[in-house]
């Protein structure tokens, strides 16, 4: 199999999807694992009364202590180390002083650059006891991401991923956000191809060994439509329904898929919240 050495390739979009070789896989394993460890570290830190800015600070300190840099810092004018998206915020919530409160759900999205490689992952966290419908949304969103990942193998298409996610989510009477998608990742933060989380089997781009991209479905309890607030970043559901998201960075391998951002502690999946339900 031939591949471009992405470590030497120019760092811009070329219209061609990169096929990476063994050194790139090694770099992405390290970057992906570090992001997972960073999200693991947050598990005990997210509680009622905690401002999302504190989460951001913990991530920045963690990154710098591990000789990594958060990719979102100074990215297109963004100034934080994370995105923290609470309740009806779909994605790109900006960390701030407002404290989390009991019953909130929050997505923390972290991208770390380690030795030039980008690991990109996000998880949902429950703030104390959360309502049953929020718990169900989180479970369905995690399952949707994993169903999308599970159909990845050489010869499958991006449409197969979207179809796996959309079919499952809509059968649960929830909706898939259309306005944001997964993306190629590696030496670049956002590269080709786009990974749309809806679609039809067989459509889109054919997957090849050595492709790196994210799968990061955003799922709403209500309608799929979003709007971006006047800060230019924060995307919210138009109907103000709850929204959730999970994200892994993955590679297409010779015989299937490798997930770079798995938690070494098995904390990827939201456990049942320890506290009694709100």
CA torsion through residues 44, 75, 25, 162, sign? positive
Report the nearest approach of Co ion to the CB of residue 108 (Å): 10
Per the listing, tokens 């499952």 go with 168
Map residue 154 onto helix, strand or coil.
coil
* 56, 109, 191, 268: which one binds Co ion (CB under 5 A): 109
Distance between alpha carbon 143 and the CA centroid of its chain, in Å? 13
**Choosing among Co ion, ligand MF3, none, which partner's interface includes residue 173 (Cβ < 5 to 8 Å by kind)?**
none
Give the chain's end-to-end CA distance (angstroms, integer). Answer: 54
Decide if residue 56 touches Co ion (CB under 5 A).
no
CB closer to ligand MF3, 42 vs 130: 42
Burial of 143 (0-12, 13-18, 19+ CB in 10 A): middle
Decide if residue 214 touches Co ion (CB under 5 A).
yes
Taking residues 238 to 257 in sequence order and writing x for each that binds ligand MF3 by CB under 6 A, - otherwise, the string is ---------x----------
Is residue 193 reached through a cis peptide bond, with omega within 30 degrees of 0 on the bond before it?
yes
**Choosing among Co ion, ligand MF3, none, which partner's interface includes residue 157 (Cβ < 5 to 8 Å by kind)?**
none
Decide if residue 75 touches ligand MF3 (CB under 6 A).
yes
Decide if residue 245 touches Co ion (CB under 5 A).
no
Decide if residue 78 touches ligand MF3 (CB under 6 A).
yes
**Other Cβ atoms closer than 10 A to 185:** 26
Residues near ligand MF3 (CB under 6 A), total: 12
- Region of 2-10, 15-23, 107-115, 168-176 interacting with Co ion (CB under 5 A): 107-115
DSSP 8-class letter at 60: H
d(CA 52, CA 48): 11
* 33, 36, 72, 258: which one binds ligand MF3 (CB under 6 A): 72
Provide the binding-site residues for Co ion, judged by CB under 5 A. Answer: 109, 120, 214, 247
């Amino acid at each position: 199999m031939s591949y471009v050495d992405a470590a030497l390739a120019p760092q811009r979009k070329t219209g061609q999807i990169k096929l990476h070789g063994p050194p790139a896989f090694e770099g992405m394993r390290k970057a992906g694992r570090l992001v997972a460890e960073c999200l693991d570290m947050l598990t005990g830190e997210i509680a009622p009364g905690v401002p999302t800015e504190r989460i951001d600070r913990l991530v920045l300190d963690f990154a710098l202590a591990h000789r990594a840099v958060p990719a979102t810092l100074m990215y297109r004018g963004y100034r934080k180390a994370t995105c923290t998206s609470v309740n009806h915020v779909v994605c790109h919530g900006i960390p701030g002083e407002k404290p989390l409160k009991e019953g909130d759900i929050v997505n923390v999205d972290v991208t770390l650059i380690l030795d030039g490689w980008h690991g990109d992952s996000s998880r949902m966290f429950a703030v104390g006891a959360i309502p049953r419908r929020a718990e169900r949304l989180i479970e369905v969103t995690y399952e949707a991401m994993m169903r999308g990942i599970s159909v990845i193998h050489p010869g499958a298409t991006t449409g197969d991923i979207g179809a796996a996610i959309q079919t499952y989510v809509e059968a649960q009477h929830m909706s898939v956000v259309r306005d944001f998608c997964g993306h190629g990742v590696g030496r670049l933060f956002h590269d080709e191809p786009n990974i749309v989380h809806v679609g039809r089997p067989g459509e889109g781009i054919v997957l090849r060994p050595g492709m790196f991209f994210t799968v990061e479905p955003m799922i709403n309890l209500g309608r799929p439509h979003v709007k971006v607030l006047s800060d230019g970043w924060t995307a919210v559901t138009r109907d103000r329904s709850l929204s959730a998201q999970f994200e892994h960075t993955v590679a297409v391998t010779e015989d299937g898929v490798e997930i770079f951002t798995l938690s070494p502690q098995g904390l990827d999946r939201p456990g049942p919240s320890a506290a009694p339900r709100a």
